Amino acid sequence: GGEAANIAAIAAQFDAAADQRHDGALMLHRFTAGTPTVTTEIGLADLETLLTKLADNRAAGTQEPVLLSRQVYALAGLQRPIV
């Protein structure tokens, strides 16, 4: 349904950011073991799907996990951009 398409779209955004060497952020609000009932919830299986995608990209050398503060400093020109 809609949630599966949403998770696939988020995973595609990970790849697009990696391909274009763009920074990105993933904000997670609330995890649920059941079926999400509001847009700020994510099921644990879907969370695992997204984290596996990021782990695969990291293993391939296409993405790097960083702190949000590092992204902010880079955007402000206070340190070398994250690439």
How would DSSP label each residue in the chain? -HHHHHHHHHHHHHHHHHHTT--------EEESS---STTEEEHHHHHHHHHHHHHHHHTTS-----HHHHHHHHTTSSPPP-
Give the pair of three-digit tokens for residue 12: 């595609």
pTM score: 0.75
Q: How far apart are CA 67 and CA 40, in angstroms?
A: 22
Question: What tens-digit pLDDT sequence spans the chain (83 residues)?
Answer: 577 888 999 999 999 988 888 878 888 888 899 888 888 888 999 999 999 999 999 999 998 887 778 778 777 877 665 55
